């Protein structure tokens, strides 16, 4: 029988975050029962939350931007790696203007807080935090993505991006009973959908088996969540849900300061050696920053947790190119928020696009569809394109409605026959702009429609982000279609520089899910699936490590 030995499951080290002061109002010291307490007004929580949501929607951490610059400077980066990194830096510079958010999917608001035992509030902290989320999303050019379930099958957009996910704990953060520490995150659907839980056994707890397992699972992440990723892997866990939550926090680098060695007390720790090995693996996959190369990931975190002897959960999560999180604290000195980078342009290189990427093929979308298809057919997969002309925009609900139309004997809409279709949904349009942030959505959600739509003469050229299934490749080969990959992430740059006109074509009642027609200029894309049955991603499905071959 072991001795009693308490430890935090994830003991955090010193907090070396650089904070900026928001205000000294709304907090005060009070004396009672011989102790000093920190009293926090509801307005303090609301203001902090509203400010945090604004900042993480428009600014990134300097460390993240430095990693993008590193890709551009690395001589081993592919041309496509460097082009994606440059586009993401341009996007960050535009977003930092505070008008266009960095991504059109402005995410679910997630707030985790640790309140010291000497912090006094009115007990309605989650409500005040939620009010701050509401104020930010309704005042800023952000998108409402939360769907309220009315019945098991019917939903309605809440029109405010509420509810938020708010989790508050009674815990003295870093041993300070008079402090309130918080983590703010905005998690879009793309990266949230790349959180995975695998229920394994002790058999995976050796390096050979683990690396083979991870190679397979990391490949399956694909590019739909906008790499380069901050990849987090958690092995073990007192429960499945704890493993997943730990992976989410690790992907935000929230757990960077936990110990790097384990002990008999059972706390979790970072395995720095495994982090280096997995990071090297990601660089060998060939997927790169979306269209081939070295930088599938910026970095890797590997955390080992205690586990029940009969269970071995393994959790994987990513933070995408919209790496949106910020730490905050409320202390007797005031309300503080992590200082994010407000001048990302300083990370931009002096070199131009032409120095950073391969040759570019210009595609005129004003031409008849058959001529567009004939022009695309001249080039291999991975070719970089620049698109100019009209695009039709349609995503999940619009595709379902068109499919229902075909079910009822209707014809494929002419607009899907005449134009390339862009899978996307815009954020709110700021005054004076043609559109709000308007980046691509995950292509795979529309895979089931492709064969039927192309058989009816529609969706012959598709534009979105991420890899597609085999059925899409087969349909394109059968009907002569193409899937073009758009860079996932630079939604603000696309809105400012590439999208010149937006109008609703059909289903206006669907809001951002309506069918739109847009005019684009020099819209960047790559050939991912062609009319000959070639798929860029199929060349990157084989194992790269000998231990991965079984």
Mean pLDDT across the chain: 93
Report the DSSP beta bridge partners of residue 147: 157
**Which pLDDT score, from 0 to 100, does residue 352 have?**
54
Kindly state the tokens that stand for 162.
């509420």
Mean pLDDT of 414-419: 97
Q: Are 56 and 186 in contact (CB under 8 A)?
A: yes
| Intra-chain end-to-end CA distance of the chain, in Å | 41
**Which pLDDT score, from 0 to 100, does residue 528 have?**
92
Query: 3-class SS at 100?
Result: coil
Query: 3-class SS at 317?
Result: strand
**Residues of the domain holding 370:** 361-529
Residue 331 lies in a domain: no
Dist. CA 162–CA 32, nearest whole Å: 37
H/E run at residue 235: strand 229-237
**Residue 263: partners with Cβ closer than 8 Å, 6 or more residues away:** 7
Residue 473 lies in a domain: yes
Binned at pLDDT 50, 70 and 90, residue 512 comes out as confident
Binned at pLDDT 50, 70 and 90, residue 474 comes out as very high
Letter string b/e over residues 506-540, b meaning 16 or more CB atoms within 10 A of that residue's CB = bbeebebbbbbbbbbeebbbbbbbbbeebbbbeeb
CA 299 to chain centre: 15
Residue 439 lies in a domain: yes
pLDDT tens digits, one per residue of 174-208: 889 999 999 999 999 999 999 999 999 999 999 99
Q: Name the DSSP class of 122.
A: -
Residue 547 lies in a domain: no
* Peptide bond between residue 72 and the one before it cis (omega within 30 degrees of 0): no
Dist. CA 435–CA 306, nearest whole Å: 49
Binned at pLDDT 50, 70 and 90, residue 540 comes out as low
Residue 192 lies in a domain: no
Q: Are 128 and 164 in contact (CB under 8 A)?
A: no
Query: Which among 135, 54, 548 is positioned nearest to 324, based on CA atoms?
Result: 54
Check whether 134 has a pLDDT greater than 50. yes
Mean pLDDT of 77-94: 92
Dist. CA 332–CA 334, nearest whole Å: 6
Binned at pLDDT 50, 70 and 90, residue 154 comes out as very high
Kindly state the tokens that stand for 328.
């905050």
**398: domain CATH number?**
3.20.130.10
- Residue 108's φ and ψ, nearest 5 degrees, are -85, 135
Residue 136 lies in a domain: no
Residue 380 lies in a domain: yes
Q: Are 139 and 149 in contact (CB under 8 A)?
A: no
Binned at pLDDT 50, 70 and 90, residue 282 comes out as very high
Binned at pLDDT 50, 70 and 90, residue 543 comes out as low
Lowest mean per-residue pLDDT among 15-24, 384-393, 462-471, 539-548: 539-548
Binned at pLDDT 50, 70 and 90, residue 393 comes out as very high
Check whether 272 has a pLDDT greater than 50. yes
Residue 488 lies in a domain: yes
Dist. CA 115–CA 133, nearest whole Å: 19
pTM here is 0.88
- Residue 504's φ and ψ, nearest 5 degrees, are -85, 130
Q: How many Cβ atoms from other residues are within 10 Å of residue 409's Cβ?
A: 6
**Which pLDDT score, from 0 to 100, does residue 230 have?**
98
Binned at pLDDT 50, 70 and 90, residue 549 comes out as very low
Check whether 351 has a pLDDT greater than 60. no
Dist. CA 202–CA 457, nearest whole Å: 52
Kindly state the tokens that stand for 201.
């056994």
Mean pLDDT of 430-450: 92
Q: Are 191 and 325 in contact (CB under 8 A)?
A: no
Letter string b/e over residues 31-48, b meaning 16 or more CB atoms within 10 A of that residue's CB = eeeeeebbbbebebbbbb
**Cβ neighbourhood burial of 207 (10 Å; 0-12, 13-18, 19+):** exposed
| Beta-sheet pairing, 35-40 with 27-32 | antiparallel
Lowest mean per-residue pLDDT among 219-223, 395-399, 512-516, 537-541: 537-541
Check whether 544 has a pLDDT greater than 60. yes
Check whether 170 has a pLDDT greater than 80. yes
Check whether 505 has a pLDDT greater than 50. yes
Query: Which among 133, 50, 56, 24 is positioned nearest to 340, based on CA atoms?
Result: 56
The structural domain count of the chain equals: 1
Q: Name the DSSP class of 42.
A: H
**Cβ neighbourhood burial of 29 (10 Å; 0-12, 13-18, 19+):** exposed
Query: 3-class SS at 544?
Result: coil
Dist. CA 49–CA 132, nearest whole Å: 5
Q: Are 363 and 372 in contact (CB under 8 A)?
A: yes
Dist. CA 95–CA 321, nearest whole Å: 13
Query: 3-class SS at 22?
Result: strand
């Amino acid at each position: 029988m072991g001795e009693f030995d308490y430890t935090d499951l994830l003991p955090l080290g010193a907090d070396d975050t650089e904070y900026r002061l928001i205000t000294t109002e709304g907090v005060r010291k009070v004396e009672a029962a011989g102790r000093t307490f920190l009293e926090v007004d509801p307005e303090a929580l609301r203001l902090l939350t509203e400010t945090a949501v604004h900042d993480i929607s428009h600014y990134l951490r300097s460390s993240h931007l430095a990693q993008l610059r590193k890709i551009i400077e690395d001589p081993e980066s592919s041309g496509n790696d460097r082009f994606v990194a440059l586009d993401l830096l341009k996007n960050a510079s535009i977003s930092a203007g505070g008008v266009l958010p960095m991504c059109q999917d402005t995410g679910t608001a997630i707030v985790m807080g640790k309140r010291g035992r000497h912090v006094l509030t009115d007990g309605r902290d989650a409500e005040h935090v939620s009010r701050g989320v509401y104020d930010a999303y309704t005042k800023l050019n952000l998108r409402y993505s939360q769907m309220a379930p009315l019945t098991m099958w019917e939903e309605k957009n809440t029109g405010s991006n509420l509810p938020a996910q708010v989790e508050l704990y009674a815990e003295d953060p870093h041993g300070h009973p008079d402090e309130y520490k918080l983590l703010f995150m905005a998690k879009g659907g793309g990266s949230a959908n790349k959180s995975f839980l695998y229920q394994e056994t002790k058999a995976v707890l050796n390096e050979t088996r683990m690396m083979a397992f991870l190679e397979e699972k990391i490949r399956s992440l694909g590019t739909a969540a906008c790499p380069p990723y901050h990849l987090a892997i958690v092995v073990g866990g007192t429960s499945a849900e704890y493993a997943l939550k730990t992976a989410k926090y690790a992907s935000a680098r929230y757990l960077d300061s936990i110990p790097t060695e384990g002990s008999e007390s059972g706390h979790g720790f970072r395995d720095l050696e495994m982090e280096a090995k997995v990071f090297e693996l990601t660089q060998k996959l060939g997927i790169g920053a979306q269209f081939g190369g070295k930088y599938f990931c910026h970095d890797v975190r590997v955390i080992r947790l205690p586990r029940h002897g009969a269970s071995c959960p393994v959790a994987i999560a990513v933070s995408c190119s919209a790496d949106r999180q910020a730490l905050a604290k409320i202390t007797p000195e005031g309300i503080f928020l992590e200082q994010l980078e407000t001048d990302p342009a300083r990370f931009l290189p002096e070199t131009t696009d032409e120095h950073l990427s391969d040759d570019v093929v210009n595609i005129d979308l004003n031409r008849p569809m058959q001529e567009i298809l004939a022009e695309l057919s001249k080039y291999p997969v991975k070719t970089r394109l620049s698109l100019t002309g009209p695009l039709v925009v349609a995503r999940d609900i619009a595709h379902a409605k068109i499919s229902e139309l075909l079910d009822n004997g209707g014809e494929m809409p002419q607009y899907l026959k005449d134009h390339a279709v862009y899978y996307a949904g815009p954020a709110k349009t700021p005054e004076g702009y043609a559109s709000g942030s308007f980046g691509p959505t995950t292509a795979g959600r529309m895979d089931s429609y492709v064969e039927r739509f192309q058989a009816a003469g529609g969706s012959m050229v598709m534009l979105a982000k991420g890899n597609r299934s085999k059925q899409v490749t087969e349909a394109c080969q059968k009907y002569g279609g193409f899937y073009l990959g758009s860079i996932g992430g630079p939604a603000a740059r696309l809105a400012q520089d590439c999208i010149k006109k937006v109008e609703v074509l059909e289903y206006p009642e669907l809001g951002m899910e309506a069918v739109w027609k847009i005019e684009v200029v020099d819209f960047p894309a790559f050939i991912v699936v062609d009319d000959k049955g070639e798929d860029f991603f199929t060349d990157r499905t084989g194992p790269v490590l000998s231990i991965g071959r079984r």
